[in-house]
């Protein structure tokens, strides 16, 4: 065997760069990590200054607690952290960082200068580049910490190749800041790009922050935002969202935060969708920010630093309560609007319950907003909110009330629809099958295959292109660019209208609504498809859509969701999935009686 094939330990810098690649892949990921550090240091103000999309320079300035000059010596080494000491610290983790590898990973691909002045010191600074550590020198900012990252990936050309144009990178940085800012409304954030201010988010309330972020969105008027709050066992839910009068045709603005981190928890996005389902037209989705605070013992973020995933032990319970909370609030909002409108009064922000309503519904408790426990304590905009159920008895009762209102009689989109369903849904088994009694049979319906089929039909039947208000630009590799130039009609026939903007730059101009809420996946699909037939393209696009949208095996499903899906399934002539497989099992009453030796 040749010498090169023998096992060797990697050079430390090579190992460092490989590990870093998983965490730091572009300026936005650097900014995300640096902001996390500032937030963990209790900063009240964070400024982010970038040049050339952050590729040339990123500077994050905070007024947090700072780093002790002696600690600067070990910072930038792998696993250098002040946030965890022992394994048991993970059970009570309250910081965003805990791995002690962000600065180490950033330094693997750039020159990092950290200057910091904790209270009571004169401050110090250090420059780290790969595995080279400069001396700790005296002198730092007047307060807090400045971290400067210069020439990202200058020495890793392969990684630079994956960077987009500076303007695209700057957009991603801005998005990363907005995501952080949405969880930390009491912190001020500013961003400037090439000397020009591009974001200014002064400290505010949670609702105020959502308003700041959506302020350029003409669809959303601040007075229409609803606030909802609910305490569960080991978790609490706060929701800031639009009412049933404002919506969009994609799920892009349904965002989920768990313990101050944005996560891609699709089942909660689905919960929001189902909560709104009875109140919005088909294909319409709200602007909805869901903030979950979950007991750290039930949460595990320790999956992958770059992925926005979280493991939750009480996911099904949260899902269930989220659907009910939203439906309950929308029901009141709806009721209130109807009442007020008939009285020709202004529509209020949140439903103010009338005397007779309170006596009619004695189990629901409301109280006037008090200052200390509000979720928007800086600028309280609404007058009423749910009573925070410190008395568990009250919480029980509202939850029970909600259950009666929404679980036993699921609302449908057509409020005047009177015909009752001719089936009875009995629940989900093995986290996959929906159990249904209909006529003289018992049916087991595979929820994933059923949902896939329904989506497939909907996507095929819909042929109306809808132009995107802002076309979405994306870059492609040379092979894909050439393929698209000769095959964009193939995409058009499958509901996606593409246009070439420049060399290697394309834009989605219009789509059928089914693709709207998954632009990212769609673009990834287009970027990776450089040859193939229309059937293959159709398969790829459908797989992308179904994979993103279809309820999976193991996904919790609410009665409302299940019944709505089952109605569509029973309306099908032949229930087979898009791949031709049957997904409904029928057991007749006769079979069942016979199998226990009875006669009907
Ligand atoms: P982690 O955040 O996982 O601990 P990092 O590599 O991001 O790892 O940071 C290492 C350590 O440096 C942190 O634990 C913290 O003590 C310190 N640190 C980094 N940035 C700052 C900052 N802006 N303010 C105060 N301390 C900081
Ligand atoms: Mg960190």
Q: Which one of the ligands is nearest to 105 CA?
A: 1
Both tokens assigned to 571: 């309306």
Any idea which ligand is nearest the CA of 81? 1
pLDDT in single tens digits along all 600 residues of the chain: 555 678 877 777 777 777 666 678 899 999 999 999 999 999 999 999 999 999 999 999 999 999 999 999 888 777 788 877 777 777 777 788 877 888 988 998 999 999 999 998 899 999 999 889 999 999 899 999 999 999 999 988 878 888 888 999 999 999 999 999 999 999 999 999 999 999 999 999 999 999 999 887 766 766 578 999 999 889 999 999 998 888 888 888 999 999 999 998 888 998 999 899 888 877 788 999 999 999 988 888 766 666 678 888 888 889 989 998 998 888 877 655 555 444 443 333 333 333 333 333 322 222 222 333 333 333 233 222 333 333 333 344 444 444 444 443 334 443 334 457 789 999 999 989 999 999 999 999 999 889 988 887 777 766 677 787 788 889 888 888 999 999 999 898 888 999 999 888 999 988 887 777 678 888 888 988 888 888 888 877 877 777 667 888 888 888 888 898 999 999 898 888 777 788 999 999 999 999 998 877
Rounded to a whole number of angstroms, the distance between the first and last alpha carbons of the chain is 76
Contact assessment for residue 283 and residue 328, using Cβ atoms and an 8 Å cutoff: no
Location of structure tokens 């989506």: 455
Nearest-ligand number for the alpha carbon of 104:
1
- Residue 63 CB–ligand 1 contact under 6 Å: no
Task: Establish whether residue 66 lines the binding site of ligand 1, counting it when its CB lies within 6 angstroms of any ligand atom.
Answer: yes
Q: Read off the pTM.
A: 0.61
pLDDT at 463: 67
Instruction: Say which residues have a Cβ less than 8 Å from residue 122's Cβ, sequence separation at least 6.
Output: 138, 139, 140
Q: How far apart are CA 396 and CA 527, in angstroms?
A: 50
Task: State if residue 83 touches ligand 1 by the CB under 6 angstroms criterion.
Answer: yes
Task: Give the containing element (helix H, strand E) for 170.
Answer: helix 166-183
Using CA atoms, how far residue 322 sits from 232, 329, 394, in Å, is 10, 11, 18
Instruction: Report the alpha-carbon distance of residue 6 to residue 23 in Å, rounded.
Output: 29
> Which residue intervals of 184-205 are DSSP H helices?
none
CB 437 within 8 A of CB 586: no
- Provide the 3-class DSSP secondary structure of residue 573: coil
Looking at the DSSP bridge assignments, the partners of residue 126 are: 114
Q: Quick one: pLDDT at residue 81?
A: 85
Which residue's CA is the closest to the ligand 1 atom numbered 21? 37
Which ligand 1 atom lies nearest to the CA of residue 98?
3
Atom of ligand 1 nearest to the CA of 62: 23
DSSP for residue 285: B
Task: From 52, 37, 373, 382, select the one nearest 231 (Cα to Cα).
Answer: 373
From the DSSP assignment, how many helices (H) and strands (E) are in the chain? 16, 25
Other beta carbons within 10 angstroms of residue 507's beta carbon come to 16
Q: What are residue 425's DSSP bridge partners?
A: 436
Q: Is ligand 1 within 6 A of the CB of residue 97? A: yes
If you compute the radius of gyration of the chain from its CA atoms, what whole number of angstroms results? 27
Rounded distance from Cα 289 to ligand 1 centre (Å): 28
Task: Please give the distance, rounded to the nearest whole angstrom, from the Cα atom of residue 82 to the centre of ligand 1.
Answer: 7
Kindly state if the Cβ of 99 falls inside 6 Å of ligand 1.
yes
Residue closest via CA to ligand 1's atom 8 equals 100
**Distances 53 to 20, 32, 109, 270, 541 between C-alpha atoms, Å:** 20, 14, 16, 34, 31
DSSP string, 482-551: HHHHHHHHHHHHTTEEEEEEETTEEEEEEE-GGGGGGHHHHHHHHHH--S--HHHHHHHHHHHHHHHHSP
- What are 469-501's pLDDT values in tens digits? 788 889 888 888 999 999 999 898 888 999 999
Q: From the CB of 38, is ligand 1 less than 6 Å away?
A: yes
Report the nearest-CA residue for atom 1 of ligand 1.
100
Q: Which pLDDT does position 112 carry in this prediction? A: 96
Q: pLDDT at position 297, please?
A: 86
Residue with CA at minimum distance from ligand 1 atom 19: 37
Write out the two tokens for 177: 């800041």
- Ligand 1 atom closest to Cα of residue 144: 24
Distance CA 100, CA 37 (A): 10
- The residue nearest atom 2 of ligand 1, judged by CA position, is 97
Mutate to test the pocket of ligand 1, among 39, 81, 109 (most ligand atoms within 8 A of CB): 81
What the block records as the tokens of 331 is 């029901």
> 159 in helix, strand or coil?
helix
Give Cα separations from 171 to 36, 255, 306, 471 (angstroms): 19, 18, 18, 15
How remote is the CA of residue 506 from the centroid of ligand 1, in Å? 39
Instruction: State whether the beta carbon of 301 lies less than 6 angstroms from ligand 1.
Output: no
Ligand in closest contact with the CA of 84 = 1
């Amino acid at each position: 065997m040749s010498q090169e094939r023998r096992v060797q330990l990697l050079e430390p810098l090579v190992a460092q760069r490989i590990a870093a690649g998983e965490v730091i892949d572009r300026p936005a990921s650097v900014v995300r990590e640096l902001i996390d550090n500032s937030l963990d240091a209790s900063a009240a103000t964070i400024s982010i200054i970038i040049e050339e999309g952050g590729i040339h320079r990123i500077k994050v300035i905070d007024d947090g607690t700072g780093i002790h000059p002696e600690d600067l010596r070990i910072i930038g080494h792998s696993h250098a952290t002040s946030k965890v000491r022992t394994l048991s610290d993970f059970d009570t983790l309250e910081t965003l960082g805990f791995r002690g590898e962000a600065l180490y990973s950033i330094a693997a691909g750039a020159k990092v200068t950290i200057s910091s002045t904790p209270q009571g010191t004169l401050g110090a600074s250090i420059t780290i580049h790969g595995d080279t550590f400069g001396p700790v020198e005296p002198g730092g900012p007047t307060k807090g910490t400045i971290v400067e990252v210069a020439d990202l990936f200058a020495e890793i050309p392969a990684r630079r190749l994956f960077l987009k144009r500076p303007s695209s990178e700057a957009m991603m940085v801005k998005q990363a800041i907005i995501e952080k800012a949405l969880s930390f409304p009491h912190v001020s954030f500013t961003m400037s790009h090439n000397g020009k201010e591009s974001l200014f988010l002064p400290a505010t309330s949670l609702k105020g922050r959502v308003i700041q972020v959506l302020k350029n969105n003409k669809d959303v008027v601040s007075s229409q935002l609803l606030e909802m709050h609910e305490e569960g066992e080991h978790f609490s839910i706060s929701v800031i969202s639009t009412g049933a009068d404002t919506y969009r045709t994609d799920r892009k603005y349904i965002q989920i935060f768990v313990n101050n981190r944005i996560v891609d928890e699709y089942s909660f996005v689905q919960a929001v969708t189902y909560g709104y389902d009875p109140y919005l037209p088909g294909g319409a989705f709200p602007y909805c920010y869901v903030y979950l605070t979950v007991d750290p013992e039930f949460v595990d973020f320790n999956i992958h630093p770059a992925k926005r995933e979280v493991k939750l032990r009480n996911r099904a319970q949260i899902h269930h309560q989220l659907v009910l909370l939203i439906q309950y609030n929308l029901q009141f909002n709806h009721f209130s609007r109807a009442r007020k409108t008939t009285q020709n009064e202004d529509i209020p922000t949140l439903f103010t319950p009338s005397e007779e309503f309170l006596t009619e519904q004695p189990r629901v408790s409301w109280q006037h907003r008090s200052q200390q426990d509000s979720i928007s304590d800086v600028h309280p905009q609404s007058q009423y909110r749910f009573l925070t159920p410190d008395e568990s008895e009250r919480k029980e009762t509202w939850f029970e009330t909600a259950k009666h209102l929404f679980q036993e009689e699921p609302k449908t989109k057509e409020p005047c629809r009177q015909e009752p369903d001719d089936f009875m849904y009995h629940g989900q088994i093995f986290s996959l099958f929906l159990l249904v009694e209909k006529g003289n049979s018992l049916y087991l319906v595979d929820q994933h295959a059923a949902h896939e089929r329904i989506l497939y039909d909907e996507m095929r039947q819909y042929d109306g292109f809808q132009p995107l208000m802002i076309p979405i630009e994306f870059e492609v590799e040379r092979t894909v660019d050439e393929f698209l130039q000769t095959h964009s009609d193939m995409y058009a026939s499958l509901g996606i209208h593409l246009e070439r903007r420049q060399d290697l730059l394309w834009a989605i101009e219009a789509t059928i609504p089914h693709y709207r809420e998954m632009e990212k996946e769609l673009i990834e699909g287009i970027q990776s498809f450089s040859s193939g037939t229309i059937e293959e393209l159709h398969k790829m696009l459908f797989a992308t859509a179904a994979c993103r949208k279809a309820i999976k095996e193991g996904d919790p499903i609410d009665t409302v969701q299940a019944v709505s899906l089952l109605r569509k399934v029973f309306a099908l002539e032949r229930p087979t999935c898009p791949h031709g497989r049957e997904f409904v099992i029928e057991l007749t009453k006769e079979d069942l009686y016979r199998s226990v030796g009875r006669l009907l």
